[in-house]
Chain A
Amino acid sequence: MRIPNTRLGLLALALASLCLAPSAGASLGADAGSVEADRAALNGQLAVSHAGGYEVREITTPAGVHIREYLTAGGTVFALSWQGPVRPDLRQMLAGYYARYAQAAAAPHVGGHRHLAVKQPGLVVESNGRMRAFYGRAWDPSLLPAHFSVADLR
């Protein structure tokens, strides 16, 4: 399943609005080249690690949010995770996936203010935590590498 690449337009928007609202722009379904561009744009720190057929790149935003991007061997971002005192801007991180996430986010949910889960065949987003300690994950089930377990998203 290919995702329309609306990401470049959103990255330009992200850079333009950086002075007002710095946030991570690396996005689900996009390619590895976006990660370095985001790191430079955010003046963030980047750490890269390799594990079992996929790559993990981490950006830390000025607000202190740690964002991890999981890339396939072919260089596609198949999952994201985040952890920090505030929530990251998922509009840029989910890019072409954002519209369906936004539609589902306001649906009734059982977790009160602490847990939100969007579960669709092509998109899963989990948002947890509270002020000063937010955690979340997002992935496209159809992009997961073989033998990858979502339990490895940390």
Chain B
Amino acid sequence: MPAEPVVFIVDDERDVRDAVSMLIRSIGLPVQAFASAQEFLGHYRPDQPGCLVLDVRMPGISGIDLQEAMAAKGIRLPIVFISGHGDIPMAVRAVRAGAVDFLEKPFSDQTLLDRVQKSIELDRRWRREARDRDVVRSRMAQLTPRELEVMECLVAGKVNKIIARELDLSTRTVEIHRARVLQKMEADNVSQLVRLVLSIREDTVRQS
């Protein structure tokens, strides 16, 4: 069930929190605001799409700490940082760790709303890709060990004859395996198969 995206706001400063909430609600997006990182962590469910507008400096867990904690827990939610301090090293650190942007208070409404919408778009894409990867993984799980071996060879760009020699099979058997692999992976041809397999491989590389 694809839930509606929600914009989460975490800022200990009540006035700023309320103002940002109001601004975002004014373009019709649902908002949930929290006064601290702890409160947010206690409330957030990872299957909730949306994005996070996060204050950098807060007593207790800071915004940067929260970003790290989410990464450690494998929670992937686009973050737009807002900060009262023009703290460049901190901004660099935040953006390197994957933040969408780092806005200095006071910010222009258009900039913030742009970043929020961009973040929601990004989140949507991330979630779609994640879903696609799950599909590919589940299809792959249906393959027999022998079919997996054949698939690896196909992805590596080897022709049937070579595969037959390497796996010590007849060309005819390889052809049957190949047809099964394409069928199970729901790929029309080998190039489509390669793309599907690489999509989960790339992701593994990116996430590690």
Are both chains from one complex? no
